[in-house]
Amino acid sequence: MEENKQSEIKPLMNSLDNNSSPFFSAKILGILVLMVVLGLGTGFFVAKNGSSVPGLTAKAPEDSSSIKKGTKVGSNDTKTFKDSTEGKLEEGGIEGEGQYHLVRPGGDSQNVYLTSSTVDLSQFVKKKIKVWGQTQTAETAGWLMDVGRLEVLE
């Protein structure tokens, strides 16, 4: 009876089968190559033909001297960018808050300090503009705004 029990005991470790398929089989390698080719093709197509992001209007011209009154750039999302103000755009923030500021009537206490991840504000320095944005929490600035839309007034 003990001989039957010993013959039924399975080994603790299994031997590795050399006939198993490699991790990167031809099928998997083919799929990976196809994915890379399709990704590159999509990137080339988008770069060549441009893409339009919903909610964004035209970009400002590269040459700031050709920016005319009435030029509008940025997002049309009025729910996110509901705050607005206007003034003359100048470079410089206040104690690390904002990269630009709007000069408004009433002196320095009325300045609005601006940042933007949507609009390139550097093209509008020294111009009178109206901005729409989202008010941000500030420690030093009286008003800190993330600009999402801009219109040139003068």
147 shares its domain with 108: yes
The pLDDT mean for the chain works out to: 80
Residue 139: the pLDDT is 86
* Section 95-107 average pLDDT: 90
Report if residue 6 sits inside a domain. yes
68 shares its domain with 112: yes
Residue 61: the pLDDT is 53
Report if residue 56 sits inside a domain. no
Q: Are 90 and 103 in contact (CB under 8 A)?
A: yes
Q: Are 104 and 112 in contact (CB under 8 A)?
A: yes
pLDDT tens-digit profile of 58-72? 455 555 566 788 888
- Least reliable range by pLDDT among 25-34, 82-91, 145-154: 25-34
Count of domains for the chain: 2
45 shares its domain with 87: no
8 shares its domain with 34: yes
Report if residue 58 sits inside a domain. no
Which residue is it, tokens 């709007």? 102
* Helix/strand/coil (H/E/C) assignment for every residue in 53-75: CCCECCCCCCCHHHCCCCCEEEE
Burial (Cβ within 10 Å: 0-12, 13-18, ≥19) of residue 149: buried
Query: What percent of the chain shows pLDDT beyond 70?
Result: 77
Taking the C-alpha atoms of 55, 57, 62 and 66 in order, what is their torsion angle to the nearest 10 degrees?
A: -160
pLDDT tens-digit profile of 30-56? 898 999 999 998 887 777 765 455 554
- Residue 11 pLDDT exceeds 60: yes
3-state secondary structure of 141: coil
Structure tokens at 154: 């003068």
Domain encompassing residue 41: 2-49
Report if residue 15 sits inside a domain. yes
